[in-house]
Amino acid sequence: MNDATLTTASSTHSYLDQLEAESIHIMRETVAECDKVVMLYSIGKDSSVLLHLAMKAFYPGKPPFPLLHVDTTWKFREMIEFRDRRARELGLDLMVHINQDGVTRGIGPITHGSELHTDVMKTQGLRQALDLHGFDAAIGGARRDEDKSRAKERIFSFRNAHHRWDPKRQRPEPWRLFNAHKRKGESIRVFPLSNWTELDVWLYIHRENIPVVPLYFAKPRPVVKRGETLVMVDDDRLPLAPGEVPEMRNVRFRTLGCYPLTGAIDSDAASTEDIIRETLDSRYSERRDRVIDQDGSASMERKKQEGYF
């Protein structure tokens, strides 16, 4: 195999091919080294890419783990429709967990604020679901470019029995050698998209023709302007101020979450190509549109230490 013309072919893998191969490698390592694996499916674009990679990683078989969605009951309606349709189409085992304690207490983003709502319905809901089923590894779609504290998080990231993250006690990850040995009570969060950026995700969605929730594409939607944030009126639970009337604006979303906590942007981008162009030209990072990240400068790091994904 010393044919030079053959060996040069190897350098032609594009960076997307390399990111894809690395993510597939990470998923296979997780399944091989852990006992009970689950994939967290949040319905957003990163989850769509993660699911696509999982389908590829275990082809011709199906991914050997279920999907878990922690439903806060405040997701956009289109997200829930999309979630159920994708699970059906791909024939995957989808588990939905809602923190019933939070529902009983009537916790919501409008009545209790974004911080308490996220903590109870998302962070605690996730912990309940993982404990309930005894999962020792949860694959998630977080990326290092999302937040400063994420930039230092490992691909195999450990949580203690109380699901806390200790940034000072992280294991080095040289080469592609991941250490999945757990101490008693520990579980692992695995992030196969660690080295992807928002632009990479969109380029890959475009290249692979991956279905995403239609909310990412611009179309006229009813919104109200609250401060600098455009909030979509997705159902009648959003209280309107006296005299406040939803207006139809051509908007789309860069990230998806609970609808009262997710800001829309004015946009005409109606296709993945348009979105890529918009992302290339953008002067703002995507997290700016998320209300929860603006709670405090070190808010993501603190949430993560408390067990937020």
Q: Which of 23, 280, 283, 269 is nearest to 144 (CA)?
A: 23
Distance CA 25, CA 32 (A): 11
The distance of closest approach from Cβ of residue 99 to another protein in the complex, given in angstroms and rounded to an integer, is 28
For 277, the token pair is 């162009």
Closer residue to another protein in complex, CB, 270/280: 280
Residue (100 or 285) nearer to another protein, CB = 285
Q: How far is CA 16 from CA 13, 91, 207, 216, 286, in A?
A: 8, 27, 9, 21, 21
5 binds another protein (CB under 8 A): no
Question: Any idea which residue has 């475009």 for tokens?
Answer: 206
Is residue 289 a contact partner of residue 255, using CB atoms and an 8 Å limit? yes
Find the shortest distance in angstroms from Cβ 155 to another protein: 10
Cα–Cα distance, 124 to 111 (Å, whole number): 18
Specify the residue, 162 or 183, whose C-beta has the smaller distance to another protein.
Answer: 183
Q: Cβ 26 to another protein, closest distance in Å?
A: 10
Burial class from Cβ neighbours inside 10 Å (0-12, 13-18, 19+) for residue 224 reads: middle
Q: Which of 77, 88, 133, 171 binds another protein (CB under 8 A)?
A: 171
The distance of closest approach from Cβ of residue 272 to another protein in the complex, given in angstroms and rounded to an integer, is: 9
CA distance 285 to 133: 36
Residue 293 engages another protein in binding (rule: CB under 8 A): no
Taking CB under 8 A as the rule, does residue 36 contact another protein? no
At closest approach, how far in Å is the CB of 89 from another protein? 16
Given the complex with another protein, which of 77 and 207 has the nearer CB atom?
A: 207
> Rule CB under 8 A: which of 199-228 touch another protein?
199-200, 203, 206-207
Query: 97: exposed, middle or buried (C-beta count within 10 Å: 0-12, 13-18, 19+)?
Result: middle
* CB nearer another protein, residue 56 or residue 225: 56
DSSP 3-state of 174: coil
Among 132, 240, 270, 298, the residue binding another protein under the rule CB under 8 A is: 298
Q: Which of 111, 166, 244, 285 binds another protein (CB under 8 A)?
A: 285
Strands 156-159 and 187-190 turn out to be antiparallel
Q: What interhelical angle do 15-33 and 45-57 show, nearest 10?
A: 70
Least distance from C-beta 111 to another protein, angstroms? 29
Told to check if 10 binds another protein by CB under 8 A, we report yes
Q: How far apart are CA 202 and CA 4, in angstroms?
A: 35
Q: Which part of the chain contacts another protein (CB under 8 A), choosing from 96-104, 119-127, 172-180, 220-228?
A: 172-180
Q: Which of 62, 85, 105, 164 binds another protein (CB under 8 A)?
A: 62
- Please answer whether residues 290 and 262 qualify as being in contact, where contact means their C-beta atoms are separated by less than 8 angstroms: yes
Site residues for another protein, 128-147, by CB under 8 A, read: 144-145
Total residues contacting another protein (rule CB under 8 A)?
Answer: 72
CB 39 within 8 A of CB 50: yes
Q: Which of residues 237-276 bind another protein (CB under 8 A)?
A: 273, 276
Does 280 engage in binding with another protein (CB under 8 A)?
yes
For residue 134, the minimal CB distance to another protein (Å) is 19
Nearer residue to another protein within complex by CB, 128 or 160 = 160
